[in-house]
Structure 1
């Protein structure tokens, strides 16, 4: 399933102009009842060390296609989700078509939230 994931965590190594360049992201918050109780565990602060460490999870093909085509979203990560109380969670996979991760001043995963979270 193709889904758009936009992200305001500008200091994340996976953030590419507000889109997520990871192949897979992992949202935590198994007991969450609000979006503030979730977080993107895939967040890694920009820098050479994290770029190298997180390279295996980079969607390089999607990044290249995105650079060549600004008319559509080419990067579409799969989303593992532990927030079992969310209406979009199906067997720990997010099924929402448009996902928004927030964390404009994030320095770590704890500073991010999944704004798409909705209680069942």
Structure 2
């Protein structure tokens, strides 16, 4: 089961630093650095405050989709790592484009 450490404090899927979305998707097709990636599953808790309590599974996220073709860990659009980190380039993200995968490694 995948574990996603999440430092995006205002994401509705973040529960004490762990992502509890059913699945996430990391994007950034031509990324060369982690800052060129993003977690497109980010949802601001001010609008979507109860999603963490409404996931289908009883645990952390277990599917990490990866659309970053330049990432070493992309294995057929699924992340090959068991644990990744998602963080933000700002204190409180407003858009998914203000998040990134800190585990990204360019091929």
Q: TM-score range by the shorter chain?
A: 0.7 to 0.9
Greater fraction helix: 1
Go from structure 1 to structure 2 and tell me whether the alpha carbon gap of 1:15 and 1:88 turns closer, same or farther (over 3 Å shift): same
Q: Select the residue among 70, 73, 78 that pairs with 1:88.
A: 73
Aligned residue number for residue 61 of structure 1: 58
Cα distance between partner residues in 1 of 2:2 and 2:58: 16
Aligned 8 A contact 1:21 1:59 in 2:
no
Q: 1:18 to 1:59 in 2, by over 3 A?
A: farther
Aligned residues: CA RMSD? 1.8
Which runs of 5 or more residues in structure 1 are unaligned?
63-74
Deviation of 1:60 (Å): 4.6
| TM norm structure 1 | 0.78
In the alignment of these two chains, the number of paired residues is: 104
1:9-48 mapped onto 2 (5 Å cutoff): 9-47=8-46
